[in-house]
């Protein structure tokens, strides 16, 4: 067989050679140890937590080593592509703080290793495939889907490995004339790699997360170029990551099983293999089966990044959480360096986990509380405003008209040594403080059981008579104490606990009555401060309203 002739028959229009592209995309001049990473999503319109998890790893690895991180769009599958998915992807990633040095951006494409969209790289792939054909390492295959299906069935029955390999690779050794004839007949074909792999032989590859990985060589004659003239993932990955000079391929562990194919392809092209970084899939406990399982986009709304945006999680909180599961010692580092920029953390692939990580919402919430506790009232307000603008127009209008008041509300117990940690995400925050606004006020809790209805009215009546917004915190509380004692309740809770039979209840119960009247809830931040912010009119009307109950 004259492979040169075959190559010309198959790719008459390809005139470039691999060397041309080598020259066009020279090796990067980067400092020693610098990593070049990439995020390579398909534009399916769905970006999830796992994508962000990987993207953050890519970004950190590149930027802590002085390297580069780029975004490549893997759109070789025309069936899966969703219109407008790329801008959404870019927006979402930048919302969560991920930016790229190269590749697709809002303002078009940047970087010297483009195009960064695979559908625009057809000529490059075809040049490489032609090169393989010329060397006898790839060949056209005319098998129809039906034929392949039959082979698969037969293999299943005989309990053999499925796929096109060995004797099943029927078109592996077609003659030139046969190929020419079929093409002239208009038969469609794909290009398969001619595997010389031996499953008895094992190869070794480097995985920065898992260490040395060793697997049997690939025997399958995998498709490298599809009927439509675009490559499969396998070939596109090899060509792109070589030409874009990627040093570290960070991807999900579902790719590990294809490493034999990739290694074979890199070797066949005579290219150096990148270092792989196979990270774990995010899992959750299934409510029905109580078993660990992969987070699914159909069943689990919390997999979607949109879910967190909508609930109003601070992007920084999501990032902090992801960092804690990405590098096992991040949490301790953060504890020791509460104010440090996360970029100062010494991120490394070897500290990434190789076992499945369970997504833990309560941990996310805890991390979020810590993040928000460090924010200023102004920052909280700003975020709430942008969240409401997108998701809750009514709240946005309310907040826009009450900025001064909101700043005071968000400032309660903020700053200082022991800030409150009860703010988690926007929706929760709103529910937490909406009683400050009559439009959203509601009684969320019941009256304390320890206080009779009669006493309750007495407490509220006296409270209203005595209430003076000019009182300072201690003067105000002295009045509450006076009512407490008058009505036969213990002024000190400890006294009540020691001799419960001597009292009806204690000052806590009495103030809970007032708190519930004013806020609709049995717990809240310091009541005196709350009332200072509300103003006398609101306090008065709330207490009056409560007395009617």
Partner RNA sequence: GGUGCCUUGGUCAAGUGGUCAAGACGUUAGCCUCUCACGCUGAAAUCAGGGGUUCGACUCCCCUAGGCACUACCA
Query: Which 276-335 residues touch RNA, going by CB under 7 A?
Result: 280-281, 283, 285, 291-294, 324-325, 328-329, 331-332, 335
- 214 near RNA, rule: CB under 7 A: yes
The nearest distance, CB 170 to RNA, in angstroms, is 13
Tell me if residue 250 falls in helix, strand or coil.
strand
* Candidate residues 183, 215, 407, 485; the one interacting with RNA per rule CB under 7 A: 215
Nearer to RNA by Cβ, of 331 and 427: the residue is: 331
- Binding to RNA (CB under 7 A): which residues in 372-391? none
Burial of 390-409, coded b for 16+ CB within 10 Å and e otherwise, reads eebeebbebbeeeeeebebb
- 419 near RNA, rule: CB under 7 A: yes
The token duo for 325 is 């599961």
The nearest distance, CB 362 to RNA, in angstroms, is 4
The nearest distance, CB 253 to RNA, in angstroms, is 6
Give one word for 273, left, alpha or beta, with left for phi > 0 and alpha for psi -120 to 50: beta
Site string for RNA, 163-192 (x = CB under 7 A): xx-----------------------x-x--
* Candidate residues 6, 7, 36, 42; the one interacting with RNA per rule CB under 7 A: 42
The DSSP symbol for 44 reads: S
The token duo for 144 is 């129809």
Q: What is the dihedral of CA 284, 289, 290, 293, to 10 degrees?
A: -30
- Binding to RNA (CB under 7 A): which residues in 244-283? 253-258, 280-281, 283
The token duo for 330 is 């991040």
| Omega within 30 of 0 (cis) for the link into 115 | yes
The nearest distance, CB 327 to RNA, in angstroms, is 9
CA–CA separation, 143 and 156 (whole Å) = 19
Contact 76/234 with Cβ under 8 angstroms?
no
The nearest distance, CB 497 to RNA, in angstroms, is 8
Contacts of 314 (CB under 8 A, 6+ apart): 368, 371, 372, 375, 383, 425
Nearer to RNA by Cβ, of 369 and 545: the residue is: 369
Per DSSP, the residues of 477-539 read HHHHHHHHHHTT-BSSHHHHHH-GGG-S-BHHHHHHHHHHHHHSSS--S-HHHHHHHH-HHHH
Binding segment for RNA (CB under 7 A), chosen from 99-107, 144-152, 168-176, 269-277, is: 144-152
The nearest distance, CB 447 to RNA, in angstroms, is 13
Nearest alpha carbon to residue 323 among 301, 347, 307? 347
What's the CA angle centered on 492, arms 489 and 498, to 5 degrees? 85
* Candidate residues 376, 502, 523, 549; the one interacting with RNA per rule CB under 7 A: 523
Kindly list the strands in the beta sheet with 223-225, ordered across the sheet, starting from the edge strand earlier in the chain.
138-141, 190-193, 223-225
- Binding to RNA (CB under 7 A): which residues in 50-109? 74, 76-77, 80
> Count of residues binding RNA (CB under 7 A)?
87
* Candidate residues 117, 264, 524, 531; the one interacting with RNA per rule CB under 7 A: 524
- 433 near RNA, rule: CB under 7 A: no
Nearer to RNA by Cβ, of 134 and 506: the residue is: 506
Binding segment for RNA (CB under 7 A), chosen from 16-24, 49-57, 168-176, 354-362, is: 354-362
* Candidate residues 233, 391, 441, 467; the one interacting with RNA per rule CB under 7 A: 233
Binding segment for RNA (CB under 7 A), chosen from 28-36, 89-97, 307-315, 524-532, is: 524-532
Contacts of 407 (CB under 8 A, 6+ apart): 377, 378, 381
The nearest distance, CB 14 to RNA, in angstroms, is 19
* Candidate residues 232, 246, 247, 532; the one interacting with RNA per rule CB under 7 A: 232
- 525 near RNA, rule: CB under 7 A: yes
- Binding to RNA (CB under 7 A): which residues in 5-24? none
The nearest distance, CB 399 to RNA, in angstroms, is 22
Q: Supply φ then ψ for residue 427, to 5 degrees.
A: -65, -40
- Binding to RNA (CB under 7 A): which residues in 462-521? 473, 477, 492-493, 507-508, 511-512, 515
Contact 514/527 with Cβ under 8 angstroms?
yes
- Binding to RNA (CB under 7 A): which residues in 446-465? none
CA–CA separation, 487 and 492 (whole Å) = 14
Nearer to RNA by Cβ, of 28 and 293: the residue is: 293
* Candidate residues 304, 522, 540, 545; the one interacting with RNA per rule CB under 7 A: 522
CA–CA separation, 93 and 85 (whole Å) = 12
Nearer to RNA by Cβ, of 114 and 252: the residue is: 252
- 210 near RNA, rule: CB under 7 A: yes
**Residue length of the chain:** 549
């Amino acid at each position: 067989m004259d492979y040169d002739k075959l190559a010309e028959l198959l790719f008459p229009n390809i005139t470039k050679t691999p060397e041309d592209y080598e020259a066009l995309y020279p090796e990067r001049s980067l400092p020693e140890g610098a990593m070049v990473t990439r995020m390579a999503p398909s534009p399916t319109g769905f970006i999830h937590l796992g994508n962000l998890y990987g993207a953050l790893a890519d970004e950190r690895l590149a930027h802590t080593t002085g390297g580069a991180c780029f975004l490549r769009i893997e759109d070789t599958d025309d069936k899966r592509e969703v219109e407008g998915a790329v801008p959404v992807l870019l927006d979402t990633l930048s919302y969560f703080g991920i930016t790229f040095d190269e590749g697709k951006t809002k303002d078009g494409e940047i970087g010297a290793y483009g195009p960064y969209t695979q559908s625009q790289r057809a000529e490059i792939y075809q040049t490489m495939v032609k090169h393989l054909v010329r060397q006898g390492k790839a060949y056209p295959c005319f098998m129809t889907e039906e034929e392949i299906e039959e082979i698969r069935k037969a293999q299943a029955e005989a309990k053999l490995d499925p796929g096109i390999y060995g004797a099943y690779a029927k078109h592996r050794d077609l003659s030139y004339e046969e190929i020419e004839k079929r093409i002239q007949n208009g038969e469609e074909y794909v290009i398969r790699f001619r595997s010389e792999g031996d499953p008895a032989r094992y190869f070794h590859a480097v995985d920065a997360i898992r260490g040395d990985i060793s697997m049997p060589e690939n025997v399958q004659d995998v498709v490298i170029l599809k009927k439509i003239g675009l490559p499969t993932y396998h070939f596109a990955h090899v060509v792109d990551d070589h030409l874009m000079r990627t040093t570290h391929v960070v991807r999900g562990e579902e790719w590990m099983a294809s490493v034999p194919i990739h290694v074979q392809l890199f070797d066949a092209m005579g290219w150096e293999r990148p270092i792989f970084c196979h990270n774990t899939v995010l899992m959750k406990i299934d409510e029905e089966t109580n078993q660990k399982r992969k987070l699914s986009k159909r069943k689990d709304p919390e997999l979607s990044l949109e879910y967190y945006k909508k609930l109003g999680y601070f992007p920084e909180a999501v990032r902090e959480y992801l960092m804690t599961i990405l590098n096992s010692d991040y949490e301790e580092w953060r504890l020791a360096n509460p104010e440090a920029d996360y970029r100062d953390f010494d991120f490394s692939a070897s500290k990434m986990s190789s076992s499945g990580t369970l997504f833990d919402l309560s941990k996310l919430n805890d991390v979020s509380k810590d993040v928000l506790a460090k924010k200023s009232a102004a920052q909280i307000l700003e975020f709430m405003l942008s969240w409401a603008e997108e998701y809750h127009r009514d709240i946005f209008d309310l907040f826009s008209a009450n900025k001064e008041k909101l700043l005071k509300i968000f400032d309660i117990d903020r700053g200082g040594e022991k800030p409150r940690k009860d703010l988690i995400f926007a929706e929760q925050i709103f529910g937490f403080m909406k009683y400050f606004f009559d439009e959203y006020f509601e009684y969320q809790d019941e009256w304390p059981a320890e206080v009779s209805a009669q006493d309750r009215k007495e407490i509220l009546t006296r409270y209203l008579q005595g209430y003076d917004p000019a009182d300072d915190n201690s003067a105000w509380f002295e009045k509450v104490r006076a009512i407490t004692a008058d009505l036969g309740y213990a002024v000190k809770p400890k006294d009540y606990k020691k001799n419960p039979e001597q009292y009806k209840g204690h000052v806590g119960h009495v103030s809970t009555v007032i708190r519930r009247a004013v806020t609709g809830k049995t717990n809240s931040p310091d009541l005196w401060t709350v009332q200072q912010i509300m103003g006398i009119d609101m306090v008065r009307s709330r207490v009056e309203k409560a007395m009617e109950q």
